[in-house]
Amino acid sequence: MLIVKSLHIIFMVTWFAGLFYLPRLFVYHAMASPDDRVGIERFCVMERKLYYGIMTPGAVLTIAFGLWLWLGYGISGGWLHAKLVLVALLVALHVYLGRLMADFRAGRNRHSHVFYRWLNEIPALPILVAIVFLVVMKPF
């Protein structure tokens, strides 16, 4: 079970790195000049590779290994149900970032770089802190 826990942590860190970095790429992409076609294409490639090559496999493997741990230890305590709600919020954030990436790729970005700066910090960090709190403290 120790190997499963270790792999779960590795893939979770990978997923979170992507959740924090993709909005940062959106900031730079939104700041790019519309006539900088090479730069805009470079951002599209970086965003796509991060989302499909790193974030999505990290998310899928995090959830898979989490389910494996869940089967090994069982379901007990309200803290686990709260954690699952937070994980569902992270999955929703992941999907939302994918939609924003698709909008950028299609030239339909509707937000400023300031919006992406807020998106970079606000959603993922409090959820991460709450999940760690629930796992370590198991308050209920």
So what's the pLDDT on residue 70? Answer: 85
So what's the pLDDT on residue 94? Answer: 98
pLDDT tops 90 at residue 124: no
The string of pLDDT tens digits covering residues 29-45 is 999 999 999 999 999 99
Residue 18: both structure tokens together: 């992507």
The string of pLDDT tens digits covering residues 68-91 is 988 877 777 788 888 899 999 999
Q: Give Cα separations from 25 to 30, 85, 118, 122 (angstroms).
A: 9, 27, 13, 16
Q: Average pLDDT, stretch 110-131?
A: 91
So what's the pLDDT on residue 135? Answer: 83
Confidence of residue 49 (pLDDT cuts 50, 70, 90): very high
CB contact at 8 A, 58 and 18: yes
Q: How many whole angstroms separate alpha carbon 80 and alpha carbon 6?
A: 19
Answer whether 0.85 is exceeded by the pTM. Answer: yes
Per-chain mean pLDDT for the chain: 93
Element (H or E) spanning 47, and its range? Answer: helix 37-48
pLDDT tops 90 at residue 128: no
Residue 35: both structure tokens together: 């006539």
So what's the pLDDT on residue 140? Answer: 84
Would you kindly state where each structural domain of the chain is located, as residue ranges?
2-137
Q: Return the sign of the alpha-carbon dihedral for residues 77, 79, 80, 85.
A: positive
Residue 71: both structure tokens together: 């089967």
